């Protein structure tokens, strides 16, 4: 029983630390806030190519999370980066990866593409 409590406590501590770390490195924006700034930024869809082809925010570039490490040099460090995925999980992970590599002006869409009501382009 004691071991189970220690493991549970460790999981809770890890979750809290991760939550606050995430809040420090990437700013989560509502759709309205995202819409107000994404045209002046690098808009990156971190979903896989098939998801991107099915529909994406007009003006977005597709750099899947699975390729981000290899394609990071395509992104400029002197401009804001607006990230989104389907739900917000992959864009959070992408932001962490970018932050570790010196990118600082990072934003992501709260709720991801599934919450987007703006213009969508399909391939």
**CB contact set of 20 (below 8 Å; sequence gap of 6+):** none
Asked if 69 and 97 count as a contact pair (C-beta separation under 8 A), the reply is: yes
From 60, 63, 85, 95, active-site residue: 85
Asked if 45 and 60 count as a contact pair (C-beta separation under 8 A), the reply is: yes
DSSP string, 42-92: EEEE-S-HHHHHH-EETT-EE--GGGHHHHGGGS-TTS-EEEE-SSSHHHH
CA distance 95 to 121: 24
Respond yes or no: is residue 85 known to be catalytic: yes
Instruction: Give catalytic residues, as residue numbers.
Output: 85
């Amino acid at each position: 029983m004691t071991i189970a409590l220690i493991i549970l406590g460790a999981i809770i501590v890890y979750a809290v630390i991760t939550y606050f770390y995430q809040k420090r490195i990437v700013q989560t924006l509502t759709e309205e806030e995202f819409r107000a700034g994404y045209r002046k930024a690098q808009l990156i869809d971190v979903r896989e190519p098939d998801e991107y082809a099915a529909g994406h925010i007009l003006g977005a570039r597709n750099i899947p999370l699975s390729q981000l490490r290899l394609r990071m040099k395509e992104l400029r460090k002197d401009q804001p980066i607006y990230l989104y995925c389907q739900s917000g999980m992959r864009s959070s992970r992408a932001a962490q990866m970018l932050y570790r590599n010196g990118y600082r002006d990072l934003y992501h869409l709260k709720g991801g593409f599934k919450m987007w009501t703006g213009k969508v382009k399909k391939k």
